[in-house]
Structures are given as C-alpha cells and as structure tokens.
Chains A and B, each alone.
Chain A
Amino acid sequence: EIVLTQSPGTLSLSPGERATLSCRASQSVGSNYLAWYQQKPGQAPRLLIYGASSRATGIPDRFSGSGSGTDFTLTISRLEPEDFAVYYCQRYGSSLLTFGGGTKVEIK
C-alpha cells in the first residue's frame, strides 16, 4: 500500500508570498495518477491539479504542480486571501485511491 506524506503540516505565510507544498510517496507513482485538492472550512474539496501538473477547469495559473516518481510539489506563486486553506494530494492506482494527510496554509 502506497502512503502519501505531505509536508509541512502547516505553512504560515503572508498574502503575496510563494507557497511550496510537498507530497512524498512511499513508492513510485505514475504522474498520470497524482492530483491535488483545496479544501476550505465547511466546504467540499475542490480539484486543483490532475496528472501531477495539469490545472483543472477554472483554476488560476498561480497554482502549479510538478514532480514525478515519489516527489511531487504544489506551488502557489503569489498567495491571494482566498488561497488560505488545506491542501491534499491524492494518488490513484490499481483502482484504489489514497489521500495524503494534508497541509494547512495559514495567514502569518
């Protein structure tokens, strides 16, 4: 079973700063199968990135995904007030799905 470990657990930043979130897999993950989600309090998660680097419909270009193998990164180039939220990575493989533990991006 592949485990996804996200770091840091919490990221304290100011609006306008750059956010770099990490997702590390315990075994190699095909890039076709890695996604990122944003969740705000009281809301369902929203798909941001699929295929490790493709933005979902309507997602601003300040969000970008990269990586391959066991190391993946979500970058928010300049934080907007609405970007403070929890972010999850997710892997699809062998018809099963796994979420990482999440990274909370909070206002410093």
Chain B
Amino acid sequence: QLQLQESGPGLVKPSETLSLTCTVSGGSISSSSYYWGWIRQPPGKGLEWIGNGYYSGSSYYNPSLKSRVTISVDTSKNQFSLKLNSLTAADTAVYYCAGVHCSSTSCYYYYGMDVWGQGTTVTVSS
C-alpha cells in the first residue's frame, strides 16, 4: 500500500527558505486519484493545511500562506516537495505530507487524506 516519508532539515534560520521532500512508495505519484498535500502543526496547536499538488503540475494553496508557498511534483522520482520562504518563528511546526484521495481530477467525491507521512519537526531559529 501507499507509504509516504518526509525528509528535510530540522533547523532553518529566520528569513530563509524551507525545503521539504515527500517520497511516495507502494504506488505511483501520477495516480489520477490522488493530490499530494502538505499539512503542518505548530507545537500544542491544531492542524493547518498548507497546500496540494497534482502530478499534472497544478497546485492549490491555503490563502493565508499562498504568497510564500510552492508545491511541486516530480513524477520521475515519485516525490513531491514543499518550499516555504521568508520564514519566521511562527513557521516552527511538525510538517506532514499526505495523500489527498479523490474520485477523479475534479474531486467530485472526496475520500479524505488516507495516507500520511510520520511528520518531520522543523524549527525556525537563528
């Protein structure tokens, strides 16, 4: 079955850019049934959706983060990535990647985020 694994630095400096990668195994990232998402969780707080990417190149972002986020999908490596720039301490969080399961490209029916990575802790500090 599908498995996801995040990778990237655990510590980044303020004003710099965070780059995380999620490797997909057990299935193809080019599936028409999945968007690929990033979610974060600040310490002691709830879940915040960051954005989704699709194998075709389309992407969708949380309006509150849109100006700082890029999500891309690399079908040759079966990976997708997150870039978040202009970091501040408020970006300190556990970052999760997840599979967003839909009935089709248009997501007429949403089956939920049914596969998750284990999460990676990112601290923004000088």
Cα A15 to Cα B96 with chains together (Å): 30
Chain B residues closer than 8 Å to A44, beta-carbon distance: 96, 98, 116-119
Residue among B47, B52, B111 making CB contact with A95, cutoff 8 Å: B52
Cα A37 to Cα B110 with chains together (Å): 14
Task: Spell out B's residues near A (CB within 8 Å).
Answer: 37, 39, 46-49, 52, 60, 62-63, 96, 98, 100, 107-114, 116-119
Q: Does A92 sit within 8 A of B, measured CB to CB?
A: yes
> Chain A: interface residue count, which band?
20 to 34
Residue among A32, A47, A51 facing the most chain B CB atoms (10 A cut-off): A47
Number of A-B contacts (CB under 8 A): 69
Chain A residues closer than 8 Å to B96, beta-carbon distance: 44-45
Binding stretch for chain B, among A20-28, A66-74, A75-83, A98-106 = A98-106
**Minimum Cβ distance to chain A for residue B40 (Å):** 11
Task: Spell out A's residues near B (CB within 8 Å).
Answer: 1, 32-33, 35, 37, 39, 44-47, 49-51, 56-57, 88, 90, 92, 95-102
Cα A45 to Cα B117 with chains together (Å): 9
Chain A residues closer than 8 Å to B98, beta-carbon distance: 44
Q: Is the interface of B mostly helix, strand, loop or mixed?
A: strand
Cα A1 to Cα B62 with chains together (Å): 10
Kindly list 15 other residue pairs between chains A and B, CB separation below 8 angstroms, not including A44-B96, A44-B116, A100-B46: A32-B108, A37-B113, A45-B113, A46-B116, A47-B112, A50-B114, A51-B109, A51-B110, A51-B111, A90-B112, A92-B110, A96-B60, A97-B37, A97-B62, A102-B46
Cα A56 to Cα B111 with chains together (Å): 8
Chain A residues closer than 8 Å to B39, beta-carbon distance: 45, 99
Chain B residues closer than 8 Å to A50, beta-carbon distance: 110-112, 114
